[in-house]
Amino acid sequence: MKSILTRRQAIRNIGLGTAGLVAAATFPACSTDKRHIITLSFDDGFEKSSIKTADIYEKYSLSACINVIATAHLKTFKLPNEYHAWKVGDFGLWNDLKSRGHEIMPHSYDHQDLTKMPLEEARTSILNCLDVFNRELKGFNAGESIYNFAYNASTPEIEKWLVTQVKAFRTGGPVFNPLPYAGQTKLTCISYGPDNCDKYLNGTVNAFLEGPPGWFIFNTHGLDDEGWGPLSSTFLDELLDRLIHTKTVKVMPPAAALNSVA
């Protein structure tokens, strides 16, 4: 389960992000001619939801961002909470979705909160996660990957070390990020739950589109009835349809966005 954001906390994060965008205006613009980039970041790797998410994205010739717990498919995996009780995919599915053009990225070794353990233990957990991906996900390159923290929880010490291992990482913070620029390593997002997040996501997207140029990253999980703060598959379909027909918007997964300015 992600740290539950109250509406007041989320609005505060949105406000902080908007201020950051104004300050970030001097960064080189993303190579796309779009002034608003939107990334939906799907965590936990629920099998049914991941397949459905990929299908909906492919309907619009888009690539989804699916973040996988390295050991969740194993029988020995211990559920961290009730929001992980649904069947997850395995690396057979992840390799298939990757071959279809979707981004499959690490979302921890076993979904522990790394901020609650010694730094060395947190480093070992991350390295174990990356080792599994190196073995199991075809074409995986840790140095080109985006590490997605469980619970969106990190510390400056972990972050400083992590950028020596991966291209970038996603953690908690403002939903509004500056447009991608060369050397960008820290991506921040918000979540909403534990109930359905359709209405909240729609509101934050609308607020973003009314504001200055930037990159919107929202962390969601399963579709319909799966996971913490689920997104309705019908709403996802309608949202993507609207966004791809909005001239100022580009829907992109994070690695592709960063690679566009590499």
Residue 33 is predicted with a pLDDT of: 52
Which residues fall within 8 angstroms of residue 226, CB to CB, at 6 or more apart?
46, 48, 49, 86
Q: Which of 65, 59, 30, 38 is nearest to 255 (CA)?
A: 65
Looking at residue 81, its pLDDT comes to: 84
What pLDDT score was predicted for residue 34? Answer: 66
Contact 60, 238 (CB under 8 A): no
- Tokens 């989320």 belong to which residue? 10
* Cis amide bond preceding 194, omega within 30: yes
What is the pLDDT confidence band of residue 11, given thresholds at 50, 70 and 90? very low
Q: What is the DSSP letter of 234?
A: H
Q: What is the pLDDT of residues 188-200, one digit of tens each?
A: 999 999 999 999 9
Tell whether the torsion through CA atoms of 156, 158, 172 and 239 is positive or negative. positive
Average pLDDT over residues 93-119: 97
Give the whole-number percent of the chain exceeding pLDDT 90. Answer: 82
Q: Helix, strand, or coil here: 219?
A: strand
Which of 174, 176, 170 shows the shortest CA–CA distance to 148? 170
Domain segments of the chain as ranges:
57-259
Q: Given pLDDT bands bounded at 50, 70 and 90, which one contains residue 4? A: very low
What CA–CA distance (Å, rounded) separates 169 from 219? 13
Residue 93's pLDDT band (cuts 50, 70, 90): very high
Instruction: Band the pLDDT of 17: cuts 50, 70, 90.
Output: very low
pLDDT at residue 6, as a whole number = 36
Q: In what order do the strands lie in the sheet with 146-148?
A: 146-148, 168-172, 186-189
Instruction: Fold for 57-259, please state it.
Output: TIM Barrel (3.20.20)
Give whole-number Cα distances, 231 to 19, 27, 217, 223, 240, in Å. 28, 32, 15, 5, 13
Q: Tell me, what's the pLDDT at 241?
A: 98
Is the Cβ–Cβ distance between 182 and 26 less than 8 Å? no
Q: Are 227 and 83 in contact (CB under 8 A)?
A: yes
Which 3 state secondary structure label does DSSP give 96?
helix
Which whole number is the average pLDDT over 106-130?
A: 97
Task: Count the neighbouring beta carbons within 10 Å of the beta carbon of residue 259.
Answer: 14
- Give pLDDT tens digits for 133-180: 999 999 999 999 999 999 999 999 999 999 999 999 999 999 999 999
**Mean pLDDT, rounded, for 213-236:** 97
